[in-house]
C-alpha cells in the first residue's frame, strides 16, 4: 500500500426513525449533502461511490448518487447485512490507500419494514431453521448470552445495565429513534423477547441514511489542517471451529489485525462504538477486543466503565439499542458519532478530549473493526 492511512473528511446522517415512510432517495440526499458540507467538498470532486443497503431495490446505489449529481463516477452497491456501510468505507479506504482514487463517498440507506427483520428469498431455498421459524433474530444473541451466563456467571442485570446506559446516552442524541430513559427494573421487566433478552435490550428497525466522505491524506490537506485518520481496519467472516456454535465474524482476530496495523491497542482507545443489535453484544465485544478479560465483561459494564465518563466510553450516542437500526446505514452512524467525538462536536454526549476511537460493526457473519485517530 502506498499509504496505510486515509482520512475521514466528512460525515452526515439523517435522524433515524421508526418506519417514517420517508423516501429513501430523499434520505440519501440529505445525508449525502450533509457529509459534503461537513467535508467542504463539491460533489464533482467525488471520484468513486459506494452505496450500502440490504432491503432496497436494484439500482439503489446509482439512484442515490444521482440525487447529488451526475458526473459519471463508478458506483457500487455493498451488502454485508448490518455491517454494510462500514464495509463500504473499508473498500473506499483500500482503493485510496492503493493510490487508485483520492476522494470517495459512501452512502448507507435503509427503509425498514416493521417488526423482526424479514426472511427473504424462495421458500424452497430457505435453510431449515428459517423455514421452521426456529431462530428469530434475537435468538443467536440470546443463546450466546445464555452460554456466557452459564460459563462466567454473567447476570441478566449486567445486560440490562448496558441497555440502561444506551438509552441514557441516546436521550442526549437528537438523531436517535428512542430517547426515553429506563430504569434497570423497567428494562428487566419489559417484555421478554428471547430469554434473557427483553424488549428494551433490543435495537428496533428504523429508517435512515448516513454518508461518509473518505479521502487521501494528500488530498485532505486542501480541506483541513486537523484530519480524522482511519489508521487501521480489518474485515472478516466466521472461522471454522470444530464443534463450534453459529458464529458471527472473528472479532478477536480482527482486533489483533487492527491493533497491529495501527500500532494502537485497547489502552490507547478513548471512545468506542460496538455493535449492540442486542445489549449483550456490548459485553461480548469488550471481551473479544481485549478491553477486559474473558468473562469479565458483565461486571466491567456493571461498574460503569463504559459510561460517557467511564474508563472507556462505549456507544456514546445510544448505540443500536437507542438509535434504532436502519441495517445498511448503521455503520455510517457509528463513524459519524466517532468523528463528532474526536472533533469535540458531540455536545452533551462529548467525551473529554478523545484522541483515538475504535469501531466494531457486525452483521450476520460479517464483521468490521476500524481504528481512528485525530
- CB-based contacts of 286, cutoff 8 Å, min separation 6: 274, 292, 297, 300, 301, 306, 312, 314
Residues recognised as catalytic: 82, 325
Q: Nearest CA to 248 among 334, 363, 360?
A: 363
58 binds other proteins (CB under 8 A): no
**Rounded to 10 degrees, what is the CA torsion of 105, 57, 123, 143?**
30
In this structure, are residues 263 and 302 in contact, taking their beta carbons and an 8 Å threshold? Answer: no
**70 vs 134 by CB, closer to other proteins:** 134
Based on the shown chain and the rule CB under 8 A, indicate whether residue 365 belongs to the binding site for other proteins.
no
CB of 88 to other proteins, least distance (A): 28
Distance CA 207, CA 21 (A): 8
Among candidate residues 132, 137, 131, the one with its CA nearest the CA of residue 113? 137
Neighbours of 183 (CB within 10 A): 11
Are the C-beta atoms of 212 and 285 separated by less than 8 Å? no
**Minimum CB–partner distance for residue 147 and other proteins (Å):** 4
Stretch that binds other proteins, among 72-80, 136-144, 182-190, 307-315 (CB under 8 A): 136-144
**Residue from 132, 174, 225, 267 binding other proteins (CB under 8 A):** 132
Least Å from the CB of residue 162 to other proteins: 18
Backbone angles phi, psi at 73, to 5 degrees: -70, 155
* Residue closer to other proteins (CB basis): 242 or 267: 242
Report the residue number, 324 or 331, with the smaller CB distance to other proteins: 324
Minimum CB separation of residue 120 from other proteins in Å reads 12
Beta-carbon-side half-sphere exposure of residue 235 (alpha carbons within 13 Å): 20
When binding is defined by CB under 8 A, the residue of 72, 226, 245, 309 that contacts other proteins is 245
Sign of CA dihedral 58, 60, 63, 69: negative
Residue 362 pairs with which residues in a beta bridge? 367
Choices 101-109, 121-129, 324-332, 346-354; region in contact with other proteins by CB under 8 A: 121-129
Pick the closer one to other proteins by CB: 59 or 129: 129
Which residues, in sequence order, are CB contacts of 69 under 8 Å at separation 6+?
43, 44
Contact yes or no for 188/341 (Cβ under 8 A) = no
Q: How far is the CB of 112 from other proteins (least distance, A)?
A: 16
**Residue 98 interacts with other proteins (CB under 8 A): yes or no:** no
CB 198 within 8 A of CB 192: yes
Joined together, the cell numbers standing for residue 213 give 466522505
- Per CB under 8 A, the segment of 32-40, 98-106, 125-133, 285-293 that binds other proteins is 125-133
Does 113 bind other proteins (CB under 8 A)? Our answer is no
Contact track, other proteins, 156-195, x by CB under 8 A: -----------------------------------xxxxx
From the list 32-40, 132-140, 225-233, 322-330, the region that binds other proteins by CB under 8 A is 132-140
Does the footprint of other proteins cover residue 114 (CB under 8 A)? no
Residues 195-214 that bind other proteins (CB under 8 A): 195, 197
Nearer to other proteins, 195 or 263 (CB): 195
Q: Are strands 366-373 and 271-273 parallel, antiparallel or unpaired?
A: unpaired
Determine how β-strand 75-78 pairs with β-strand 271-273: unpaired
Residue numbers of the site for other proteins (CB under 8 A)? 116, 119, 127-136, 138-139, 142-147, 150, 191-195, 197, 240, 242-246
Amino acid at each position: 500500500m502506498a499509504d496505510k492511512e486515509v482520512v475521514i473528511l466528512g460525515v452526515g446522517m439523517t435522524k433515524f426513525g421508526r418506519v417514517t415512510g420517508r423516501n429513501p432517495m430523499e434520505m440519501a440526499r440529505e445525508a449525502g449533502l450533509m457529509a459534503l458540507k461537513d467535508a467542504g467538498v463539491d460533489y464533482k470532486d467525488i471520484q468513486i461511490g459506494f452505496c450500502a443497503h440490504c432491503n432496497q431495490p436494484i439500482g439503489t446505489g446509482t439512484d442515490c448518487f444521482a440525487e447529488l449529481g451526475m458526473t459519471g463516477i463508478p458506483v457500487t452497491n455493498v451488502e454485508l447485512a448490518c455491517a454494510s456501510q462500514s464495509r463500504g468505507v473499508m473498500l473506499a479506504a483500500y482503493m485510496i490507500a492503493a493510490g487508485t482514487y483520492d476522494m470517495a463517498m459512501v452512502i448507507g440507506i435503509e427503509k425498514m419494514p416493521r417488526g423482526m427483520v424479514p426472511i427473504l428469498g424462495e421458500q424452497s431455498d430457505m435453510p431449515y431453521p428459517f423455514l421452521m421459524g426456529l431462530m428469530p433474530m434475537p435468538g443467536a444473541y440470546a443463546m450466546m448470552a445464555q452460554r456466557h451466563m452459564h460459563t462466567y456467571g454473567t447476570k441478566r442485570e449486567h445486560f440490562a445495565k448496558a441497555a440502561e446506559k444506551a438509552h441514557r446516552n441516546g436521550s442526549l442524541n437528537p438523531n436517535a429513534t428512542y430517547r426515553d430513559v429506563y430504569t434497570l427494573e423497567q428494562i428487566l421487566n419489559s417484555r421478554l423477547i428471547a430469554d434473557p433478552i427483553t424488549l428494551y435490550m433490543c435495537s428496533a428497525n428504523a429508517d435512515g441514511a448516513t454518508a461518509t466522505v473518505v479521502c487521501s491524506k494528500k488530498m485532505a490537506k486542501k480541506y483541513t489542517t486537523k484530519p480524522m485518520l482511519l489508521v487501521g481496519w480489518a474485515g472478516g467472516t466466521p472461522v471454522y471451529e470444530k464443534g463450534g456454535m453459529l458464529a458471527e465474524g472473528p472479532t478477536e482476530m480482527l482486533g489483533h489485525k487492527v491493533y497491529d496495523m495501527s500500532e494502537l491497542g485497547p489502552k490507547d482507545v478513548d471512545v468506542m462504538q460496538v455493535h449492540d443489535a442486542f445489549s449483550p453484544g456490548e459485553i461480548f465485544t469488550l471481551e473479544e477486543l481485549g478491553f477486559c478479560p474473558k468473562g469479565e465483561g458483565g461486571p466491567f459494564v456493571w461498574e460503569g466503565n463504559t459510561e460517557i465518563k467511564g474508563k472507556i466510553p462505549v456507544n456514546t450516542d445510544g448505540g443500536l439499542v437507542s438509535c434504532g437500526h436502519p441495517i445498511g446505514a448503521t455503520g455510517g452512524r457509528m463513524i459519524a458519532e466517532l468523528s463528532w467525538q474526536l472533533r469535540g462536536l458531540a455536545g452533551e454526549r462529548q467525551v473529554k478530549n478523545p484522541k483515538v476511537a475504535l469501531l466494531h460493526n457486525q452483521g450476520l457473519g460479517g464483521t468490521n473493526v476500524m481504528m481512528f485517530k485525530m
